[in-house]
């Protein structure tokens, strides 16, 4: 076999390995909750697990059974999934391949006022950046996202090791430096 054919075989093997690792990384977003994590009719946001009655890994049938039909939904074109809005609960549930993969409260829900949900440390919509950093520690990464379409705002996104995403109002917003959105399993932390 010539060196050209051997090189092609090596490159094919490398490409396959990259694809497998890439798919595994994408699959991280559709995660099952840790053992003992189940929906509960409380107002607790549990990182890596749930927000109140909606838990990561729930099937669409379980979502319907526990929280009922959504007020509205939005299908995704590029993945097998949808985003379901529960206005009465003030949250959104993102479902990919039939299972809840992300749960959020805040700006994406378009619900006014402060949410009823909070972490065990007391972090909720409206908490200050100082409270977030003092109670949750340093984020794995943070990024300024500039103008957000259809939201008339700027924000900072903080990603924590457990996949919790915290979005803080930025720029000249009247609530600059305050939490505008909390997302369970909303980001992929960097090491």
* pLDDT tens string 72-103: 999 988 788 999 999 888 899 999 999 999 99
- Are 140 and 160 in contact by the 8 Å Cβ rule? The answer is yes
Q: What is the dihedral of CA 39, 135, 107, 161, to 10 degrees?
A: -70
Range scoring the smallest mean pLDDT among 1-5, 10-14, 39-43, 161-165: 10-14
Q: What is the C-alpha to C-alpha distance for residues 105 and 84, in angstroms, rounded to an integer?
A: 12
Range of the domain at 85: 45-184
189 falls within a domain: no
For residue 102, how many other CB atoms are within 10 A of its CB?
Answer: 22
For the chain, state the CA radius of gyration: 19
pLDDT at 159: 95
Task: For residues 143-154, give the mean pLDDT.
Answer: 68
Range scoring the smallest mean pLDDT among 7-21, 65-79, 124-138: 7-21
Contacts of 126 (CB under 8 A, 6+ apart): 114, 175, 178, 179
Q: Per-residue pLDDT tens for 112-137?
A: 456 789 999 999 998 999 999 999 99
Number of domains in the chain: 2
Confidence grade of residue 151 (pLDDT, cut at 50, 70, 90): low
Same domain, 58 and 25: no
Whether 173 shows a pLDDT value over 70: the answer reads no
Q: What is the C-alpha to C-alpha distance for residues 43 and 163, in angstroms, rounded to an integer?
A: 19
126 falls within a domain: yes
38 falls within a domain: no
Same domain, 89 and 151: yes
Mean residue pLDDT of the chain comes to 79
pLDDT at 20: 32
Residue with tokens 């109670």: 135
């Amino acid at each position: 076999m010539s060196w050209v054919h051997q090189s092609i075989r090596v490159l094919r093997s490398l490409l396959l390995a990259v694809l497998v690792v890439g798919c595994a990384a994408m699959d991280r977003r559709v995660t099952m909750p840790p053992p003992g994590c189940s929906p509960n009719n409380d107002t607790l946001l549990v990182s890596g697990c749930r927000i109140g009655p909606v838990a990561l890994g729930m099937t669409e049938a379980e979502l319907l059974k526990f929280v009922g039909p959504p007020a509205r939904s939005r299908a995704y074109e590029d993945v097998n999934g949808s985003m379901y809005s529960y206005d009465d609960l003030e949250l959104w549930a993102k479902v990919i391949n039939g299972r809840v993969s992300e749960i959020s409260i805040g700006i994406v829900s378009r619900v006014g006022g402060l949410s009823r949900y909070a972490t065990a440390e007391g972090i909720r919509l409206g908490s200050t950046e100082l409270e977030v950093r003092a109670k949750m520690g340093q984020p794995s990464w943070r990024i300024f996202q500039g103008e957000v379409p259809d939201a008339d705002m700027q924000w900072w996104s903080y990603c924590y090791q457990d996949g919790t995403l915290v979005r803080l109002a930025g720029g000249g917003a009247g609530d600059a430096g305050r939490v505008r959105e909390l997302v369970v399993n909303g980001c992929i932390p960097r090491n």
